[in-house]
């Protein structure tokens, strides 16, 4: 599978299985890959992506093959035309480099992953966590390259202590 805009599927990259690699370089802020929303998922699921605080979809295209990293080279930005999330470079990405994002950038809670994170980043959290479990400094480092409903959830939690139980 290949995306003509600069990404390709790489089969069985390592112990994380398949992955997506850059077929050209990207600068910070560049759209690396367009999100391709798929069919609705009935609930939070290991292969579903959260699209609001209460809805999930099974994404199409290369998106489902983008691996998690606790030190990702991409973030996500809403693509209103495609009604999905585009992958956006957070830092320079070289040709041949794996495309990664932190699953917490669009998932409030992560419930369906192994106990141990496999990203190998120097700042690895040890487990794949959702947005609600990220420390404030990590959230701040991601800036606006996260799903907007996550920022809205943080604002609601700050304004209403009863929301904190979610």
pTM of the model: 0.86
Taking every pair of C-alpha atoms in the chain, what is the biggest distance, in angstroms?
Answer: 47
- Whether the CB-CB separation of 16 and 77 falls below 8 Å is answered with no
Residue bearing the bigger pLDDT, 102 or 57: 102
**What CATH number did the domain enclosing 26 receive?**
2.170.270.10
Q: What is the pLDDT of residues 74-104, one digit of tens each?
A: 999 988 777 778 999 999 999 999 999 999 9
Closest CA to 129 of 154, 147, 102: 102
Domain count, the chain: 1
Q: Residue 161 above 70 pLDDT?
A: no
DSSP secondary structure code for residue 151 in this structure: H
- Whether the CB-CB separation of 99 and 89 falls below 8 Å is answered with no
Order of strands across the sheet that contains 55-57 = 40-41, 55-57, 49-52
Range 134-139 contact pairs with CB under 8 angstroms and sequence separation of 24 or more: 134/104
Its domain, for residue 47, covers 2-165
For position 1, what pLDDT does the model report?
47
Mean pLDDT of 116-123: 90
- Whether the CB-CB separation of 41 and 48 falls below 8 Å is answered with yes
Q: Residue 37 above 90 pLDDT?
A: no
For position 87, what pLDDT does the model report?
94
């Amino acid at each position: 599978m290949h995306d003509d805009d600069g990404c390709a599927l790489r089969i069985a990259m390592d112990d994380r299985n398949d992955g997506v690699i850059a077929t050209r370089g990207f600068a910070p802020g560049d759209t690396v890959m367009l999100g391709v929303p798929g069919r609705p998922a009935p609930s939070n699921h290991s292969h579903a992506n959260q699209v609001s605080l209460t809805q999930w979809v099974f994404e199409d295209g290369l998106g489902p093959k983008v691996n998690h990293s606790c030190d990702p080279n991409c973030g996500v930005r809403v693509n209103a035309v495609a009604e999905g999330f585009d992958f956006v470079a957070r830092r320079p990405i070289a040709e041949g480099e794996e495309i990664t994002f932190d699953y917490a950038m669009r998932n409030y809670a992560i419930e369906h992953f192994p106990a141990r994170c496999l990203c190998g980043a120097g700042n690895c959290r040890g487990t794949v966590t959702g947005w609600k479990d990220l420390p404030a400094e990590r959230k701040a480092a991601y800036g606006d390259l996260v799903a907007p409903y996550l920022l809205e959830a943080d604002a609601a939690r700050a304004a209403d202590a009863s929301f904190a139980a979610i």
